[in-house]
Amino acid sequence: MAMKGGEGEQAAARGSVLITAFEPSGDAHAAPVVAALRRLAPELPVIAWGGPKLAEAGATVIERSADDGAMGLSAISRIGAVRRHAAAIDRWCSQHRVAVHVPVDSPAANFPVAKRMKRRGVRVCHLVAPQLWAWGPWRLNKLRRCTDCVLCLLPFEEKWFRDRQVPARFIGHPVINRPLAEDTVARAAEYPAGSPKVLLLPGSRSSEVRRNLPLLLRALSEMQSRHRRLNALLVAANAELLQLVRSRIGDSVPSGLHLITGDLDAAIAWCDLALCVSGTVSLDVTRQAKPMVGVYKVSPLSYFGSRLLLTTPNRLLPNILAGRRIVPEFVPHMGGAEPVWQAAETLLADQARMRAATDALRGVLEPYRGHDPAEEAAQAILRLARGENPLSS
């Protein structure tokens, strides 16, 4: 329901909604929420540090802060860039009224900004819960001090945070709850025939593509040697990453491998099995209940560090949601391609296993039925702007 004119004007008088996103995924998560805010309360200014999707949704983007997290920068340069954005946000807020701050994911970058906002008396609504249940539970006190509400994308998170005195609400997930276009299956039929049909998803960041592409290509090569009619699609998240993939492969694109950008939904509908880098894209695959193998290639230092820091037995999102291992995962992984292609072959060789994987993934989707993440998030933000309880219905 849209805010009445007087309510919208009063909210605008109290200040704007400020959104801070420091990764492409945050830009994507927040954009539908901005579109819902513009529809429900057009008088309420929405300001952002973010990326192109936030701008397209109707936010006034002050600085671009959500481009590819790697961007060819070293880790130190990236930290410096985030600090410069934080200083710019602070300067902007010293001259403008903010009613609600919406930090989107990226807790390392957003926690300092949210802390400053709370000192200014601004109410804070975290969009995408920090995954403290997987690592860093000692940061709960910091989160309690710098939030008024955490909007959760995973069903179990609401209870986990509330049990630890953090106001939280499950709103669904913008990937899972996004409807498929009616022509998805028709577009899928235009892709090459073959059996099996294998989809490669090498990651949404350039650093992920650099680390994981050789592993996926080696696994594909082994599978091709066992399946004469195998066809494969590799979907790059954007044109820049497609160029990176082409530069890494060079002139020797494997026979039967087709490189595309975009059209992810149709590519998933086309495939029999996906080899995907761990991340949100595993939920795109889950949404269509397609069997998959999850990977995330890391350095030895990162591998042993994650073994110490991560507290959950599963790291791939479908397995976390299921509470058990329903998808073969190698996350993190510092070995070769052999276990990856062997896990894929085990699935492809047994149709009963493929059906069981599909059924298990469909079960993961059940808690999401009936949710509209953008609408529910926008309503919570508007309640905060009016000084109301963001968790009320």
**Phi then psi dihedrals of residue 189, to 5 deg:** -65, -15
Q: Residue 374 in contact with residue 36, Cβ under 8 Å?
A: yes
CATH class held by domain 5-174+370-385: alpha beta
Measured in whole angstroms, the distance separating CA 86 from the mean position of its chain's CA atoms is 22
Letter for the amino acid at 353?
R
The CATH number fitting domain 184-368, selected from 3.40.50.170, 3.40.50.720, 3.40.50.2000, 1.20.120.80 = 3.40.50.2000
Predicted pLDDT at 72: 38
Predicted pLDDT at 136: 79
Q: What is the pLDDT of residues 221-255, one digit of tens each?
A: 999 999 999 999 999 999 999 999 999 998 888 88
Q: Residue 277 in contact with residue 295, Cβ under 8 Å?
A: yes
Domain spans in the chain, listed from the N-terminal domain onward: 5-174+370-385, 184-368
Measured in whole angstroms, the distance separating CA 294 from the mean position of its chain's CA atoms is 15
Q: Residue 77 in contact with residue 99, Cβ under 8 Å?
A: no
In 106-195, the DSSP E strands lie at 123-127, 149-152, 168-170
User: Smallest Cα–Cα separation from 238: which of 268, 270, 214, 206?
Assistant: 206
Predicted pLDDT at 52: 95
The residues with which 151 forms a beta bridge, in sequence order, are 127, 169
Q: What is the pLDDT of residues 29-60, one digit of tens each?
A: 999 999 999 999 999 999 999 999 999 999 99
CA angle 91, 93, 99 (to 5 degrees): 170
**Phi then psi dihedrals of residue 256, to 5 deg:** 85, 0
Measured between alpha carbons, how far is 365 from 113 in angstroms, rounded to an integer?
34
Tell me whether domains 5-174+370-385 and 184-368 share a fold: yes
Predicted pLDDT at 68: 64
Predicted pLDDT at 7: 46
CA atoms within 13 A on the CB side of 145: 11
Q: Residue 24 in contact with residue 363, Cβ under 8 Å?
A: no
Tally Cβ neighbours within 10 Å of residue 189: 10
Predicted pLDDT at 294: 98
Q: Residue 206 in contact with residue 240, Cβ under 8 Å?
A: yes
Predicted pLDDT at 3: 43
Ranges of the chain whose pLDDT falls below 50:
1-9, 11-12, 70-74
Side by side, the strands of the sheet bearing 197-201 are: 257-261, 231-236, 197-201, 273-277, 292-297, 329-333
HEC sequence for 99-127: EEEEEECCHHHHHHHHHHHHHCCCEEEEE
